[in-house]
Amino acid sequence: MKRYLILEDGTVFPGEGFGSSIITTGQLVISNNRTGIEQSVTDPDAEGQILAFTIPSVGNSGINRDFYESINSQCKGVVIGSSSRSTVDGSISFEDWITSLKIPGIKNVDVRALAKHIAEHGEMKASIMDTHDEHAIDQIKALVLPPDLVKRVSTRQSYPNPNMGLKIVIVDLGLKYSILRQLSYRDCNSIIVNYNSTVEEIEDLHPDGIIYSNGPGDPKDLPRTIKNIQILQKKYPLLGIGLGSLLIALANECQIVKLAHPHHESSLAVKEVASGKIDFVNHNHSYTLDQKYIGSSDFIVTNVCVADGTIEGIRHEFLPIMGVLFEPEAAPGPTDGYYVFDEFIDLIESVKQQEGVRSQWS
């Protein structure tokens, strides 16, 4: 069935429909991921997004349903060049999988041309439709993307991920399961809470440290969460991942900017400033901290992207706060970034030790 990908600026990419046949609209995101398509599609960050994969053929190694990053996919649509019918180990093919998730898809699209167009003209809204008349283009132009993406993906009810180690409270802004996997691997006793949980509710859980997770949308849509950070950061070690880091930055009067070339790639090099170490890590962010304000802020830059110099990691100069813009939990992508979780645990341990020394000596 012939379908059309229509961009906000009126550009039309024809293709063939697959998956669900509903009309869909959302923010178009160009993803350069080669592998881990399952993880990208089930990532809560994909809420409200139409994902376009630039890899020429998707799903060549089958679909592994053990690699989910959330129970239900929030992705609004997928755009691909072609896909393989390959079903390794009797697993499901990419197209059948997208159909089973009831996600609309469009294939035989010139994804390289699409990626170039977006690189030149910036990120935009898009729609997958059956027609491409004036009316359809007017509709997509008039579309206002919902500002409550985090509210849609954040857990409504707090829930535990019990273990015997440090008590970590995770503020769910669109949590990927791989963050929990990494914490479980380090014996952390985690509790996951709603993004709007009050300071009292979080304090009542008596955390050793707090993680602000990754998530979709514009950080400025979350003023209450930012206010909470301003109070909590004085009492607890904090780790921000992706959106979480941006909120921590805003809570400390550090400005953020939208990237000219957003990072949606599962393997992009990042340099650790202190040691010069290079790590290949998964990126999925459209914003970062503004270089102009970082000098006068209380943050030091700990990691930068090698390709374009984007700030990828920060640390507070006086408080036990750290944040990364990339995704240390990988999924998809290489696992070089896992050390961020070790670093956060070291940070908590050292704060505890300091407190111990203080109470011993005073």
Partner 1 sequence: MAKEIIDGQTMTRALTRITYEIIERNKGIEDLVLVGIKTRGVFVAHRIESRLKQLENINIPVAELDITPYRDDQTHEEKDISKVKTEPLNIDINNKHVILTDDVLYTGRTIRAAMDALMSAGRPKKISLAVLVDRGHRELPIRADFVGKNIPTSQKEKIKVSMKEIDGEDKIEIE
Q: Residue 353, interface with partner 1 (CB under 8 A)?
A: yes
Of 57, 89, 38, residue with least CA distance to 266: 38
Q: What is the token pair recorded at 236? A: 């607890």
Candidate segments 111-119, 139-147, 205-213, 294-302, binder of partner 1 by CB under 8 A: 294-302
Q: Which residue of 34, 218, 319, 352 would you call a contact of partner 1, by CB under 8 A?
A: 319
Q: Which residue of 217, 320, 332, 333 would you call a contact of partner 1, by CB under 8 A?
A: 320
Q: Which residue of 3, 76, 107, 315 would you call a contact of partner 1, by CB under 8 A?
A: 315
CB of 275 to partner 1, least distance (A): 6
Candidate segments 27-35, 203-211, 217-225, 313-321, binder of partner 1 by CB under 8 A: 313-321
User: Is the separation of the CB atoms in 33 and 265 below 8 Å?
Assistant: yes
Q: Closer CB to partner 1, residue 195 or residue 299?
A: 299
Q: Closer CB to partner 1, residue 175 or residue 248?
A: 248
Cβ count within 10 A of residue 350: 12
Q: Which residue of 226, 300, 306, 334 would you call a contact of partner 1, by CB under 8 A?
A: 300
For residue 62, list its beta bridge partners.
none
CB of 339 to partner 1, least distance (A): 6
Angle subtended at Cα 170 by Cα 314 and Cα 345, rounded to the nearest 5 degrees: 55
Candidate segments 96-104, 120-128, 218-226, 297-305, binder of partner 1 by CB under 8 A: 297-305
d(CA 289, CA 345): 24
Q: Which residue of 90, 120, 156, 276 would you call a contact of partner 1, by CB under 8 A?
A: 276
Residue numbers 189-228 binding partner 1 by CB under 8 A: none
CB of 230 to partner 1, least distance (A): 19
Q: Which residue of 72, 131, 255, 350 would you call a contact of partner 1, by CB under 8 A?
A: 350
Give the neighbor-by-neighbor strand order of the sheet with 159-161.
159-161, 189-194, 167-172, 209-212, 238-241, 321-324, 311-316, 299-305, 256-272, 278-289
Residue numbers 236-275 binding partner 1 by CB under 8 A: 272-275
Q: Closer CB to partner 1, residue 23 or residue 319?
A: 319
Q: What is the token pair recorded at 91? A: 């697993």
Q: Residue 355, interface with partner 1 (CB under 8 A)?
A: no
Bridging pattern class, strands 125-129 and 2-7 = antiparallel
Q: Residue 277, interface with partner 1 (CB under 8 A)?
A: yes
CB of 47 to partner 1, least distance (A): 34
Q: Which residues bind partner 1 (CB under 8 A)?
A: 272-277, 300-302, 315-320, 339, 342-343, 346-347, 350, 353, 357
